[in-house]
Amino acid sequence: MTSIIVPLLLSLVLFGDEVTGFVTNNHNNMVVQPALVQRQEVRMMAIITSQSVESLLDENRAKLEELAPIAPEMSTLERLRFAMAFRKNRTEARRKLREAMKYRKSTAGKPIIDAATQAYASATNAEGGWDNDVVRDAAPHAAIINKFITPKNILTLSTEEGDLLYVIRASLIDDKTLMSSVSVEQMTEFFLYVKEIHNLVANARSEKTGRLCEVIFANDISGISAIPDSRFFQALTESSQQYEELYPSLAGPTMILNLPFVLQAFIGLIKPLFPSTVQDRLAFESAPVLEGLDELTPLTTDADKRKSFLAEIKSLLS
C-alpha cells in the first residue's frame, strides 16, 4: 500500500510547493499556523520564523555584507533569506546566491522573473488592493493553464500576521487533460512564475509588517484516488528542485489534510521516506470543515465558512 500512497503524497508535497494559485485575499483572518505530527517541532519552527526582520538583520549582518556584492540588485531582505538558509556555511550561501542570480539573468529565467515583477506591480495599488486577474493572465501559457487552475481547486488566504496560506484540492484538477494541452516545459515555466509571485508577495509583506513572512501550504487530499499524471509529476519535480535553490527560507510548513483513516497508521512509515527538508515541515492532520466543501471557492466568498476553516486550522495547535 505504501508503494501507492508515497508517490501520491510526494506529489502533493511538491504540488503544495509549486502550484498555489494567485488569489490573495487580504481579510483580517485569524493567524494560521500548521500542525506537525510532532507538535512541539511546529512550535519551535513558529518561534524561528516569527522573528522580526530587524532582529534577523542584526543577527546576520556579517553574512549580509558578504552577500551584497554578489547580488547588489537584490533587496537586503532577499539576501537575508539566503543567509538564514545557510547559517552554518557561508561558502554555500555565497554559492547558492550566485546560482540564483545566474538563473534570474538567464534566457530561461529572466522572462519569467520580468513577467512576475511586472504583473505584481500592475496588480498592486497604493491602497493595498490586489487585482488577481492581472497576475493570473500574465502567467506563462495562462490561456491554457488557467482553464484548469482556478479558485475552485487552488486559492490563497492571508493570515493575520501576513503569511500566505495556500489551500489546494488536487482532486479537482484534471491534470491528464491539462498535460495533453501543454508540455512539461511549459508547465514548469508556469510553476516557476508562481514561485516568483510567492517571493514578491512574501517579501513585500515582510517589509510592511516587520516580520519575516513565509508560505504555508495546506494540501487537501479529499477525493483523490489516483497518482497524478506522470507528465504533471515531472513538471512538479523539475520546478520543485529549484524551490529551495532559488527561494530559500520562503517555504513554511506543509500540511497534508484529510488522509484516509485506513492510511493514518502508515504515517510513521511514510514520513521517513521523504527528503529531510520535507520531513522538517510536513504535517498530517484532519480538517473536517475543509473536507466538507465541494470546492474551495466558498473560503473566499463566504465569511462564515472561511472563519470556520481558519478556526479549524488554528485548533490543530491546541
Asked if 95 and 71 touch (Cβ cutoff 8 Å), the reply is no
Instruction: Output the CA torsion sign for 309, 312, 316, 318.
Output: positive
Predicted local confidence at residue 46, as pLDDT: 42
Residues contacting 212, CB < 8 A, separation 6+: 49, 50, 51, 52, 53, 56, 80, 206, 249
Mean of the per-residue pLDDT values of the chain: 82
Residue found by looking up cell 514561485 in the block = 195
The verdict on pTM exceeding 0.95 is: no
Give the pLDDT confidence of 84-108 residue by residue, as tens digits: 999 889 999 999 999 999 999 999 9
Q: What angle do CA 19, 25, 30 make, to 5 degrees?
A: 105
Give the pLDDT confidence of 221-259 residue by residue, as tens digits: 888 877 778 898 888 878 777 877 899 999 887 888 998
SS3 215: strand
Predicted local confidence at residue 23, as pLDDT: 46
Gap between the Cα atoms of 282 and 284, Å rounded: 7
Predicted local confidence at residue 84, as pLDDT: 94
Give the pLDDT confidence of 262-317 residue by residue, as tens digits: 666 667 776 776 666 667 777 888 899 999 999 999 999 999 999 898 888 777 75
| 315: enclosing H helix or E strand | helix 303-315
Task: Tell me the average pLDDT across 15-41.
Answer: 42
Asked if 243 and 13 touch (Cβ cutoff 8 Å), the reply is no
**Domains contained in the chain, CATH given:** 2-315 (3.40.525)
What backbone torsions phi and psi does residue 24 show, to the nearest 5 degrees? -110, 115
